Amino acid sequence: MGHVKSLKCLICGSEYQEDEVEYTCPKCGNEGLLEVEYDYGTIKTEFTKEYLKNNKNYSMWRYLPLLPINDASKIGPLQVGFTPLYDVPIIRKDLGVRNLFIKDEGRNPTASLKDRASAVVVVKAQEVGLNDITCASTGNAASSLAGATASVGLKSYIFVPKNAPKAKLTQLLVFGATVFAVNGTYDEAFDLSISATKEFGWYNRNTGFNPYTVEGKKTVALEIAEQLNFDVPDYIFVSVGDGNIISGVYKGFFDLLNLGFIDRMPKLIAVQAEGCSPVVDAVNGDGIIRPVIPNTIADSISVGIPRSGIMAVKYIKESGGFGIKVSDLEILNAIKYLGSKSGIFAEPAGSTSFAGYLKALNSGSIRKDDKVVVIITGNGLKDVDSAMRAVKEPIYVDPTIEDVKNKLKETK
């Protein structure tokens, strides 16, 4: 059995046992997100530095004692997590910084950080005896769910906006999901999937709505901490849409703080696109989330009604962090800069965090010697049309060495 003590409502503080509640607080409705609370006293006896040293599992499941899993036999076979944390020497030299690290989450099985949440949700569905899982998504949560269900022989029913990038839609279809391409926004797809959950009795993975998505995503923070030998970074930059990933990052460090592995929290920096910044505006302003009509190239963070917004704002503020907005042009430029100076290819929402880092560095909001981790949340192959806007055309040549010589001269 796992070590979950209770699920606690973020709004009214009511506590529930795992089997008493499904998704959000029954008293507070969809706003009443539940925080998963653990019995740290028991975990401490099992989860030690010695335990980690002897642990040969190099996936997110090396942190099993800190995850809400009651039946580990239901864990799927895909290798999720333990993605690289790079120290990017060329970028460091170029920017004159010494302590920058990049966590490449595009290295997960379906090429985004979302695999961490889906891996947990697929176990939770089976624990309650449900084999049909639904979710609404801007694309990555869906493709991760479809991959995870395919790996264990469950079914997925996906609601995505019909203009989701082609690669993400293709992933869904290849993994055998039933795909509903919604003639509307992500926010509309979200509500539709909740109605479908009620109508058809499916298990729901929706970001924020399902309390366990944060728990899966927190493993990225557990890894960062372990990869840095539990020497906590000063700042972590995260691209934000619903605010679920950044909440997960907070939760991972919070767990480690409670277990005595670290002595302070990193400051969390939320980065959003200028055309869709409800979380950043709330963090930097009065703390209240005001829905917006999204307008950004970064489809994964094109979220007008952030479903984990209240949680994210609370956690970012508690960490002492702040928010930054970047333009679509800065997002595209960051794809090119990151790619050409590190070999890491980010989708637009993946490079948003890095664009925010560059802006914070240039404006002096952070210092050159600060220890910083930037999380790249999704791989660039997910949206090559956007990436093509950030780069030049190739050099077109006839198949002769003379033409290659001529064209090379022209480019010099």
Ligand X SMILES: Cc1ncc(COP(=O)(O)O)c(C=O)c1O
Residues that bind Zn ion (CB under 5 A): 9, 11-12, 14, 25, 27-28, 32
> Among 187, 328, 330, 347, which residue sits at the site for ligand X (rule: CB under 6 A)?
347
Ranges within 140-179 binding ligand X (CB under 6 A): 140-141
- 3-class state of residue 291 by DSSP: coil
297 near ligand X, rule: CB under 6 A: no
Cross-strand pairs, 161: 182
Residue span binding ligand X (CB under 6 A) among the ranges 125-133, 150-158, 228-236, 299-307: 299-307
269 near ligand X, rule: CB under 6 A: no
134 near ligand X, rule: CB under 6 A: no
> Among 377, 380, 383, 386, which residue sits at the site for ligand X (rule: CB under 6 A)?
377
**Nearest Cα residue to 348 out of 380, 321, 325, 326:** 380
12 binds, among Zn ion, ligand X, none (CB under 5 to 8 A by kind): Zn ion
101 vs 250 by CB, closer to ligand X: 250
Distance CA 98, CA 100 (A): 6
Nearest residue (beta carbon) to ligand X:
378
> Among 24, 134, 143, 207, which residue sits at the site for ligand X (rule: CB under 6 A)?
207
- How many other C-beta atoms are found inside a 10 Å radius of the C-beta of residue 335? 26
- Strands ordered across the beta sheet of 85-86: 85-86, 100-104, 372-376, 235-239, 267-273, 322-326
154 binds, among Zn ion, ligand X, none (CB under 5 to 8 A by kind): none
**Nearest Cα residue to 121 out of 208, 6, 28, 247:** 208
Distance CA 208, CA 251 (A): 13
Residue span binding ligand X (CB under 6 A) among the ranges 221-229, 288-296, 300-308, 386-394: 300-308
Distance CA 254, CA 259 (A): 9
- With vertex at residue 247, the alpha carbon angle to CA 309 and CA 15, rounded to the nearest 5 degrees, is 85
Helices (H) and strands (E) in the chain, counts: 16, 13
Four-point Cα dihedral 258, 269, 272, 136, nearest 10: -10
28 binds, among ligand X, Zn ion, none (CB under 5 to 8 A by kind): Zn ion
> Among 110, 126, 193, 244, which residue sits at the site for ligand X (rule: CB under 6 A)?
244
19 vs 393 by CB, closer to Zn ion: 19
Ranges within 88-127 binding ligand X (CB under 6 A): 112, 114
Cross-strand pairs, 160: 181
24 vs 277 by CB, closer to Zn ion: 24
**Nearest Cα residue to 348 out of 174, 165, 199:** 165
> Among 33, 67, 133, 245, which residue sits at the site for ligand X (rule: CB under 6 A)?
245
> Among 378, 380, 383, 387, which residue sits at the site for ligand X (rule: CB under 6 A)?
378
Contacting positions for ligand X (CB under 6 A): 112, 114, 138, 140-141, 207, 239-245, 300-301, 303, 347, 349-350, 377-378
